[in-house]
Structure 1
């Protein structure tokens, strides 16, 4: 997810600060995502991903094999 967010942010030509502002989250949220932190709030992650038309949802391991 860290690489996805970094790449999308770069495509838009945004700094971390600008991206956080546009996504409506604190700068620390963007930094934590880009650093690959594991203790993130799902709703905040989805705020960030929604800028790209994506969301993060739980999926069973069985079903995850279908999307690989």
Structure 2
């Protein structure tokens, strides 16, 4: 899926709307639902990393680094 994105889409996933999702799905041989799932997972990971970085090493995940 990622290989079917343009460099700009990879850098700024927020610009990926319905028509781009359809093109990416066709180009990757996947469904639009799978493209949506990948984008959701990316957003969740991004939020997690932001929370982890903002709060310090251990604030968001107690016991993780012990």
The answer to whether TM tops 0.5 is no
TM range (shorter): 0.3 to 0.5
Q: Which one has the largest radius of gyration?
A: 2
For normalisation by structure 2, the TM-score amounts to 0.35
Higher relative contact order (CA 8 A, sep 6+): 1
